[in-house]
Amino acid sequence: MLLAWLSLALAGPSLADVFKYRDRQGNIYLTDKPMKGGYRLLKRYRFKTTRPRAGGASLAAMRKRKARYAPLIEAAAQEAGLQPALVHAVVRVESAYRPDAISRKGARGLMQLMPATAKRFGVTDLHDPRQNLKGGTRYLSRLLALFDRDLNLALAAYNAGENAVISYGNRIPPYRETQQYVKKVLRFYRQAQAGDQLAQR
Angle (CA) 75-78-117 rounded to 5° is: 80
Active site residue 94: yes
The residue annotated as part of the active site, out of 74, 94, 162, 177, is 94
Summarize pLDDT for 112-149 with one digit per residue, the tens: 999 999 999 999 999 999 999 999 999 999 999 999 99
Residue 57 has pLDDT above 70, yes or no: no
164 Cβ contact list (under 8 Å, min separation 6): 33, 156, 157, 173, 175, 178
Once rounded to an integer, what is the mean pLDDT over residues 46-62? Answer: 59
192 Cβ contact list (under 8 Å, min separation 6): 84, 85, 86, 88, 89
Amino acid letter for position 16 = A
- Rounded CA-CA distance 142/138 in Å is 6
Q: Which of 34-38, 104-108, 148-152, 191-195 is predicted least confidently?
A: 34-38
Q: Which of 51-60, 92-101, 115-124, 160-169 is predicted least confidently?
A: 51-60
| Domains of the chain and any CATH numbers | 2-46 (no CATH), 59-193 (1.10.530.10)
31 Cβ contact list (under 8 Å, min separation 6): 18, 19, 21, 39
* pTM assigned to the model: 0.69
Task: Tally the C-alpha atoms within 13 A of residue 68's C-alpha that lie toward its C-beta.
Answer: 14
